[in-house]
Amino acid sequence: VQLVESGGGLVQAGGSLRLSCAASGFTFDDYAIGWFRQAPGKEREGVSCISIGDGTTYDVDSAKGRFIISSDNAKNTVYLQMNRLKPSDTGVYYCAAGRLTWCDYGDLPEKYDFWGQGTQVTVSS
C-alpha cells in the first residue's frame, strides 16, 4: 500500500494550491481518502474526506467554501484544491485511506488505516 502526496509549497495569503494523493496497492473504490494537516506543535486535524465508491464528501468548517476535494478514479488519485489560503492553513498535509462509510467520522485520524508521508504547505502573510 502506498499513498504519495505532492503539490505542496510556499504561497502568499489569498493564493491557491492543489495537492495530489496518488494511491496504489489496494482497491481504491473500497476506501475513503481523507486529507489531514498538522501544524508545528499541534495535533493532526482532519480537513476533507471523499468516499471513492459513491463520491460522498465531507469538509470541516475551516475548509468549507475554500477547499474542494475530488478524485480521478482512473488514476487512483485524490486532489485537494485549496483556495483563498490563510497563514493558519500552514502545516504538513497528509492523505490517508480508510474503510469509512460515507466519510462518517472522516475527520478522525483513528478511522484511517494507511497514511502518506506528507507534503509541506506554507502560507505567508
C-beta atoms surrounding 22 within 10 Å: 16
C-beta atoms surrounding 123 within 10 Å: 20
* Cα–Cα distances in angstroms (integers) from residue 79 to residues 42, 88, 112, in the given order: 24, 20, 17
Strand-pair partners of 114: 97
Task: Find how far residue 15's CA is from the centre of its chain.
Answer: 18
Q: Which residue has the cell 478511522?
A: 111
pLDDT tens sequence for the chain (125 residues): 999 999 999 999 999 999 999 999 999 999 999 999 999 999 999 999 999 999 999 999 999 999 999 999 999 999 999 999 999 999 999 999 999 988 989 899 999 999 999 999 999 99
Q: Which residue has the cell 502568499?
A: 12
